[in-house]
Amino acid sequence: MTTRLRILDDGAWLSVDDSRRVSVSELWRLDAPGFCECDLADMVVENFLETGVDGRTVQVRVYGQCIVCGTKSTTGWIPVGRIVDGEFVDIDREGVLRVTDDKEEAKSSG
Amino acid sequence: MPTDVENWKSEVYGNEIREHLFRFAEEGFETIPDDERDAWFERFKWWGLYHQRNGQEGYFMMRIGTPNGVLEPGQLRVVGEIADEYARGPGTNPIFGDAYADYTTRQAIQLHWIELSDVPDIFEKMEKHGLTTQQACGDSWRNIVGNPVAGKDGQEVIDAWPVIRDLNETFKGDEDHSNLPRKWKVSVTGSADGSGQGDINDLAFEPAYKEIEGEDVVGFNVRVGGGLARNEPRFARDIDVWVSPDRVSDVAGGLSALFRDNGDREDRYNARIKFLVDEWGAEEVRETLQDEYVDFELHTAGRDVREEYTYNTGEGERNDLVGVHEQRDGKYFVGLNVLVGRMGADDVLELADLAEEYGSGEVRLSQRQNVIVTDVPESELDDFLEEDLLEHYSPEPSPFMRGSIACTGTEFCSLSIVETKNRQVRFARWLKENVDLPEDVEEFHIHLSGCTASCAQPQIADVSLRGMKTRKDGEAVEALDVGLGGGLGDEPQFARWVTQRVPVDEVPGALANLIDSFAEAREAGESFRAFVARHDDEELDEFVDPEETDYEDPMMHNTKMTWYPYAEDDSMDAKPPAPADD
Ligand code: HEM
Ligand code: SF4
Ligand SMILES: [Zn+2]
């Protein structure tokens, strides 16, 4: 079965199989050298832009702001959950999230 | 590739959504198929129902779109009764209680905690009294805004009310215009005060004179492509067209069709007409309108009255419509301040009574989230002003109460980053107690938006506050970006964002320090907006100077991670189940 992934309400949240899974306003620690100058960005998620799956990993690209250095920008692909037995399972987003900068690596399908 | 939303819209959209909505209401929320929820919630917006945020599944915000903010005699009572009966949910707001109505910055009304199963009864009641939620949200013509006292205002160049009524009747439910690439916000203003705020709408008609066969005729100049959302604010662009009142509908329909056919349906972020105007330029918009969408020769723009605009300009008279004003017919309209636009259902009902007792029963809504009671005869004025209700909803409020606008925020809204309405009430009360403006400054506009969608129109205020986050002593806390010096008028100006990420408990102190600096360093009689204009961002950032004071903010934590910020157990795990069918 395929998983339905969508960004809805003007980028407010990620929908997985018609339920709301991840919302804006979360604060993420990103290992994202391309995003800002900080070793680890401390980024407020303001808008979801795009979603896709890479293997079983659900990823998103977002617009956000690093609250340490003030950089406002668009990220590469960030893992937010996994599909396990057809169900979405959250990745612990309190920990450090590693960003894939190469946008080609993730397949944007769903 | 068209978006999912476009695909859903091409399957079912517009008027026909209603029968499905009623079926789901009848059969129960849980009968919406699991794999069609996203699609139906998107479609329900067209009928004014917006699913509330995460943690509040099964509850809806319902928007009633009142054309030009006009509530005809009897209609406010219906709103109050519906709020009282249906807008109650599992959460109680500590300031506003259990049932309330929100007056919005686009002259509409929003109710919360609406259950799907109640929708048919609510619609029946509303429609019996001429109210509707049709097209209040979704990708179509929204309620048309303008000077709320159109037809009554002494400062009127032309009566815009018949024009607005005609547009409303023509484009409500019109199948040719019911599925646009994105929302379509129209403003029609006939007064010389600028109170229709045309510059921040997709399409604006503004009063203008044109010499036609040697005679000065009053009609409208046309501007296209304004809007504030998403860090991409635009003022509407002058497309060099003047139109007579009887042709407004043709031009408005032509532009709406142009948008329908040419707006971006592959990227919703790029869909508003403001981006099409960016891409094409005003000239190409005009040419395309002329060549493909109207069958008569367009006039070039006429002589406008923008120099006379005062509304939300940050200087001069009449920055809002609060207070007692004489109407054209010698009666009076009385603008009452509704702090952050929210009024308890009991108060709504009492106001409806007062409007009947002292006026004609009619009430109108402004774009500053306030209410206006019209048609009060001079002989009744003193008694009306003595009424207890007007102590709370004052025609002569403190500048900080009067200038406050706030959007919905984390209480109900999916996009939000911070708590808004209750916070703005706390800010306004603290500022009123603790801060003095220079004596000759009677108005000071502070607009608080919970995110960049800018529903509270922050960019056109003296002080703009916008939801963010920061860390304070290592803890993540809600914060606000501070912008200064925005305003409308002949030369509109967006606020400049000068200070970022001020922890919310330091914002009142920051504003107090800012106002002190203004009082000290201003030139005689200088407005705040002019003061801001002659300083650079760095100087302004220094004036803002965040500081802790005796203001305490009980909502510092991430209020979006709660199911309802004011619940005793606010954790997501404590969220209520979706309401069962009853
Ligand atoms: C459930 C709560 C709400 C949600 C989810 C919501 C959603 C949105 C979104 C997504 C935008 C950005 C739209 C765009 O890009 O065009 C927006 C903008 C806006 N909304 Fe809301 N909104 C809510 C409440 C309100 C309220 C209370 C008002 C007051 C009338 C309002 C009026 C506006 C205005 C004036 C804008 C600015 C649009 C512009 O000028 O471009 N909304 N809203
Ligand atoms: S400005 Fe943002 S937070 Fe406020 S109501 Fe609009 S979308 Fe929601
Ligand atoms: Zn950074």
For residue range B268-280, list pLDDT tens digits in order. 999 999 999 999 9
Summarize pLDDT for B402-438 with one digit per residue, the tens.
999 999 999 999 999 999 999 999 999 999 999 999 9
Q: Label the pairing between strands A87-90 and B332-336.
A: unpaired
Spatial contact of B565 and B559, defined as CB atoms under 8 Å apart: yes
For residues B303 and B344, membership in a common domain is answered with: no
User: Is the beta carbon of B137 within 6 A of some atom in ligand 2?
Assistant: no
What does the alpha-carbon distance between residue B300 and residue B150 come to, in Å, rounded to a whole number? 25
Q: Is B38 in Cβ contact with A8 (below 8 Å)?
A: yes
User: Is the beta carbon of B111 within 6 A of some atom in ligand 1?
Assistant: no
Total of domains in chain B? 4
Best CA proximity match to B96, nearest among B343, B438, B441, B323? B343
Mean pLDDT of B82-109: 97
Virtual CA dihedral for B104, B106, B107, B112, nearest 10 degrees?
Answer: -40
Percent of chain B with pLDDT over 70: 100
Contacts of B54 in chain A (CB under 8 A): 13, 20, 23
Identify the residue whose C-alpha is closest to ligand 2 atom 5.
B408
Query: What pLDDT, on a 0 to 100 scale, did the predictor assign at position A109?
Result: 39
Contacts of A4 in chain B (CB under 8 A): 35, 38
For residues B347 and B484, membership in a common domain is answered with: no
Residue whose pair of structure tokens reads 């029963």 in the numeric block:
B361
Determine, yes or no, domain membership for A110. Answer: no
Which of B57, B183, B414 should one mutate to test binding to chain A, selecting the residue with the greatest count of A CBs within 10 A? B414
Q: Which H helix or E strand runs over B376?
A: strand B371-376
For residues B526 and B427, membership in a common domain is answered with: yes
B470 by Cβ neighbours in 10 Å (0-12 / 13-18 / 19+) ranks as: buried
Best CA proximity match to A5, nearest among A64, A36, A51? A51
| Count of other CB atoms within 10 angstroms of residue B222 | 29
Q: Is A23 in Cβ contact with B468 (below 8 Å)?
A: no
Query: Which atom, in ligand 2's list, is nearest to the CA of B450?
Result: 3
Identify the residue whose C-alpha is closest to ligand 1 atom 9.
B453
How many Å lie between the centroid of ligand 1 and the Cα of residue B104? 10
First to last CA, chain B: 42
Determine, yes or no, domain membership for B273. Answer: yes
Whole-model pTM: value is 0.95
What does the alpha-carbon distance between residue B300 and residue B319 come to, in Å, rounded to a whole number? 30
CATH code for position B377: 3.30.70.3340
Nearest chain B Cα distance for residue A15, angstroms: 8
| Count of other CB atoms within 10 angstroms of residue B566 | 18
pLDDT, chain B, mean:
97
Determine, yes or no, domain membership for A106. Answer: no
| Count of other CB atoms within 10 angstroms of residue B10 | 11
Residue whose pair of structure tokens reads 């939000």 in the numeric block:
B416
A70 touches chain B (CB under 8 A): yes
User: Is the beta carbon of B453 within 6 A of some atom in ligand 2?
Assistant: yes
Identify the residue whose C-alpha is closest to ligand 1 atom 22.
B455
Determine, yes or no, domain membership for B87. Answer: yes
Determine, yes or no, domain membership for B567. Answer: no
What chain B residue is nearest to A3 in terms of C-alpha separation? B35
Q: Is A20 in Cβ contact with B269 (below 8 Å)?
A: no
Confidence of residue B1 (pLDDT cuts 50, 70, 90): confident
Complex confidence, ipTM: 0.92
Question: Domain limits at B474?
Answer: 401-561
A17 touches chain B (CB under 8 A): yes
CA distances from A3 to A6, A17, A52, A81, B266 (A): 10, 6, 10, 12, 21
Spatial contact of A73 and A38, defined as CB atoms under 8 Å apart: no
Contacts of A44 in chain B (CB under 8 A): 417, 468-469
For residues B63 and B14, membership in a common domain is answered with: yes
Q: Which H helix or E strand runs over B379?
A: helix B378-386
Query: What pLDDT, on a 0 to 100 scale, did the predictor assign at position A55?
Result: 92
Summarize pLDDT for A4-57 with one digit per residue, the tens.
999 999 999 999 999 999 999 999 999 998 999 999 999 999 999 999 999 999
Q: Which H helix or E strand runs over B60?
A: strand B59-64
What does the alpha-carbon distance between residue B419 and residue B398 come to, in Å, rounded to a whole number? 23
B564 by Cβ neighbours in 10 Å (0-12 / 13-18 / 19+) ranks as: buried
User: Please, what's the b/e burial string for B238-266 (b: 16 or more CB within 10 A of its CB; e: otherwise)?
Assistant: bbbbbbebebbbebbbbbbbbbbebbbbe
For residues B158 and B97, membership in a common domain is answered with: no
Q: Is B469 in Cβ contact with A18 (below 8 Å)?
A: no
Spatial contact of B147 and B196, defined as CB atoms under 8 Å apart: yes
What does the alpha-carbon distance between residue B93 and residue B560 come to, in Å, rounded to a whole number? 15
Determine, yes or no, domain membership for A107. Answer: no
Chosen domain end from B375, B397, B419: B397
What does the alpha-carbon distance between residue B361 and residue B321 come to, in Å, rounded to a whole number? 18
Determine, yes or no, domain membership for B291. Answer: yes
| Count of other CB atoms within 10 angstroms of residue B492 | 21
Determine, yes or no, domain membership for B135. Answer: no
Q: How far is CA B332 from the centre of its chain?
A: 25
For residues B280 and B195, membership in a common domain is answered with: yes
Determine, yes or no, domain membership for A81. Answer: yes
A37 by Cβ neighbours in 10 Å (0-12 / 13-18 / 19+) ranks as: exposed
What does the alpha-carbon distance between residue B342 and residue B479 come to, in Å, rounded to a whole number? 23
Question: Domain limits at A89?
Answer: 5-98
Query: What pLDDT, on a 0 to 100 scale, did the predictor assign at position B154?
Result: 85
For residues B176 and B283, membership in a common domain is answered with: yes
Summarize pLDDT for B448-503 with one digit per residue, the tens.
999 999 999 999 999 999 999 999 999 999 999 999 999 999 999 999 999 999 99
Summarize pLDDT for A58-109 with one digit per residue, the tens.
999 999 999 999 999 999 999 999 999 999 999 999 999 999 975 544 444 3
Tokens at B548, concatenated: 């802790």
Determine, yes or no, domain membership for B566. Answer: no
Summarize pLDDT for B335-385 with one digit per residue, the tens.
999 999 999 999 999 999 999 999 999 999 999 999 999 999 999 999 999
Contacts of A19 in chain B (CB under 8 A): 37
For residues B328 and B463, membership in a common domain is answered with: no
Query: What pLDDT, on a 0 to 100 scale, did the predictor assign at position B131?
Result: 98
CATH code for position B544: 3.30.413.10
User: Is the beta carbon of B105 within 6 A of some atom in ligand 1?
Assistant: yes
Query: What pLDDT, on a 0 to 100 scale, did the predictor assign at position A102?
Result: 58
Choose the residue to mutate in B416, B455, B464 for probing ligand 1, maximizing ligand atoms within 8 Å of C-beta.
B455
For residues B419 and B557, membership in a common domain is answered with: yes
CATH code for position B27: 3.90.480.20
Determine, yes or no, domain membership for B86. Answer: yes
Chosen domain end from B128, B159, B191: B128
Determine, yes or no, domain membership for A61. Answer: yes
Tokens at A86, concatenated: 């057809």
Q: Label the pairing between strands B496-503 and B203-212.
A: unpaired
A12 touches chain B (CB under 8 A): yes
Nearest chain A Cα distance for residue B61, angstroms: 14
Question: From the list B37, B268, B470, which residue is nearest A67 (CB)?
Answer: B470
Q: Is A27 in Cβ contact with B558 (below 8 Å)?
A: yes
How many Å lie between the centroid of ligand 3 and the Cα of residue A30? 9
Residue whose pair of structure tokens reads 């079983």 in the numeric block:
A56
Determine, yes or no, domain membership for A103. Answer: no
Total of domains in chain A? 1
For residues B124 and B154, membership in a common domain is answered with: no
Determine, yes or no, domain membership for B138. Answer: no
Confidence of residue B581 (pLDDT cuts 50, 70, 90): low
Contacts of B410 in chain A (CB under 8 A): 25
Spatial contact of B108 and B144, defined as CB atoms under 8 Å apart: no
What does the alpha-carbon distance between residue B205 and residue B513 come to, in Å, rounded to a whole number? 40
